[in-house]
C-alpha cells in the first residue's frame, strides 16, 4: 500500500489538518482555530501523533501557510512565518516545530503556492505548463507552478500587492497597511467591507460592489497573463463564490487584452483560461498534501491520472 502523508493548511483564522494519499483518499481531517503558535502548532502535532497511532507512521508533512514566509531551503528563515501582521505569529518556526515534534520530514511553502500545486496535479491545471492560482478573501495572494514546481524568486510571489489602475471615480483610500490602494487594499474581503459598510457576504449578487470588484481583479489578471503566460488563471477564495463574479472578471480581462495576445486560450470568452478551482475549496489542503508527496517523489514525475477537478 502507498505511503500516507500529513497536510497542514495554515490560515490566519484556522488550521486545516489532514492525512491521506490524494483527493480520493483523505483518511482524516480536523480544523483548529488559529490562536497562539504554541497552542495551535502544539495541537496540530498532537493530532498527527494520534493519526499515526491509527494509520501508521506518516511519510512526511506538507505545510502551506499564510505569509510572508521563508520558502528557500537552506536559508536561515526557511520554514518560518516571517513579517506577518498576524498578532503573535511574526518570526514563527512552523516547519521546525512540526518536524521536531513528529520526527518527520516537512515540506513548506505558501498556502497559495501549495494550492497552485494541488490544482496543477489534481485540479483545473492538469496538463498545463504554467498555472496561476489567485485567492480572493481575507487577503489576496497568488501562487504559480511552472513545470510542476512552485515559483520562488528572491522571495515568493506577492501578487496581492501589485498596483492596478483605479476605476473611474473611485476615491476609496484602500485598506492595505503598507500600500493602501494595492490590489489587496482595494479588492480583498476587508476592502469590500470597509468600502460598503457591510461584509462581502451580505451584499447581493446584483450590488454595484461586484462590478468594481471585477474591475480590479481583471486589471490584475490581465497583467499576470501578459507577464507569466499561464494556461490557467484559477480564481479561488471566498469572495469568488459570488454568482456571476467570475464571468465579469473574464469579460473585463477580454476587454483589456483587446485581442493582443494571439492564442486560442486568450481569445473568445476565456472559459478555458480564467477558471474556478477544479478542487473547489480543497485546493489548499490538497496542495499541502501534494507538497508532502514531493518529499518522496517530485510532483513533476507524478501521474495526473487521479484528476478529479472540472472547470
pLDDT in tens, the chain (311 residues): 589 999 999 988 899 999 999 998 999 999 999 999 999 999 999 999 999 999 999 999 999 999 889 998 889 999 999 988 888 999 999 999 999 999 999 999 999 999 999 999 999 999 999 999 999 998 899 999 999 999 887 777 889 999 999 999 999 999 998 888 999 999 999 999 999 999 999 999 999 999 999 999 999 999 999 999 999 999 999 999 999 999 999 999 999 999 989 899 998 899 999 999 999 999 999 999 999 998 876 555 554 434 334 33
Average pLDDT score, the chain: 92
Q: What are phi and psi of 126, to 5 degrees?
A: -60, 135
DSSP per position, 124-139: TTTT-SEEEEEEESSS
Handedness of CA 26, 31, 34, 35 (dihedral sign): negative
Q: Which CATH class is domain 127-275?
A: alpha beta
DSSP per position, 97-151: HHHHHHT--EEEEEHHHHHHHHHHHHSTTTT-SEEEEEEESSSEEEEEEETTEE-
Q: Which CATH class is domain 5-114+280-301?
A: alpha beta
CB 12 within 8 A of CB 68: no
β-bridge mates for residue 149, sequence order: 146
What's the pTM?
Answer: 0.91
> C-alpha cell of 247?
464571468
Handedness of CA 15, 16, 21, 23 (dihedral sign): negative
The span from the CA of 178 to the CA of 161, in Å, is 9
148-205 pLDDT, tens digit per residue, is: 999 887 777 889 999 999 999 999 999 998 888 999 999 999 999 999 999 999 999 9
> C-alpha cell of 231?
494556461
The span from the CA of 67 to the CA of 233, in Å, is 21
Handedness of CA 121, 125, 131, 137 (dihedral sign): negative
Per-domain boundaries in the chain: 5-114+280-301, 127-275
The span from the CA of 161 to the CA of 83, in Å, is 15
Cα of 130 vs its chain's centroid, Å: 15
- Those residues with Cβ within 8 angstroms of residue 241's Cβ, 6 or more apart along the chain or in another chain: none
> C-alpha cell of 39?
497552542
DSSP per position, 226-242: HHH--SEEEEESGGGGS
Amino acid at each position: 500500500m502507498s505511503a500516507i502523508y500529513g497536510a497542514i493548511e495554515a490560515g490566519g483564522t484556522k488550521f486545516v489538518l489532514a492525512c491521506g494519499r490524494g483527493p480520493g483518499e483523505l483518511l482524516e481531517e480536523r480544523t483548529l482555530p488559529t490562536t497562539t503558535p504554541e497552542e495551535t502548532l502544539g495541537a496540530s502535532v498532537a493530532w498527527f501523533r494520534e493519526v499515526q497511532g491509527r494509520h501508521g507512521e506518516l511519510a512526511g508533512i506538507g505545510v502551506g501557510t499564510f505569509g510572508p514566509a521563508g520558502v528557500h531551503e537552506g536559508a536561515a528563515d526557511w520554514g518560518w512565518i516571517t513579517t506577518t501582521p498576524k498578532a503573535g505569529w511574526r518570526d514563527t518556526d512552523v516547519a521546525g516545530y512540526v518536524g521536531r515534534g513528529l520526527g518527520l520530514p516537512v515540506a513548506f511553502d505558501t498556502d497559495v503556492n501549495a494550492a497552485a500545486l494541488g490544482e496543477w496535479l489534481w485540479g483545473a491545471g492538469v496538463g498545463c505548463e504554467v498555472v496561476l492560482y489567485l485567492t480572493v478573501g481575507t487577503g489576496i495572494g497568488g501562487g504559480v507552478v511552472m513545470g510542476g514546481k512552485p515559483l520562488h524568486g528572491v522571495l515568493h510571489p506577492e501578487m496581492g500587492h501589485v498596483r492596478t489602475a483605479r476605476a473611474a471615480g473611485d476615491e476609496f483610500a484602500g485598506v492595505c497597511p503598507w500600500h493602501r490602494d494595492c490590489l489587496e487594499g482595494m479588492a480583498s474581503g476587508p476592502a469590500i467591507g470597509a468600502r460598503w459598510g457591510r461584509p462581502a457576504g451580505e451584499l447581493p449578487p446584483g450590488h454595484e460592489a461586484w462590478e468594481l470588484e471585477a474591475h480590479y481583479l481583471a486589471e490584475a489578471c490581465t497583467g499576470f497573463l501578459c507577464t507569466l503566460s499561464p494556461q490557467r488563471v484559477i480564481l479561488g477564495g471566498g469572495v469568488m463564490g459570488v454568482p456571476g463574479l467570475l464571468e465579469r472578471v473574464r469579460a473585463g480581462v477580454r476587454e483589456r487584452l483587446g485581442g493582443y495576445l494571439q492564442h486560442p486560450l486568450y481569445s473568445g470568452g476565456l472559459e478555458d483560461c480564467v477558471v474556478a478551482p477544479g478542487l473547489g475549496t480543497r485546493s489548499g489542503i490538497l496542495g499541502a498534501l501534494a507538497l508532502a508527496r514531493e518529499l518522496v517523489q517530485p510532483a513533476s514525475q507524478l501521474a495526473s491520472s487521479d484528476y478529479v477537478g472540472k472547470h
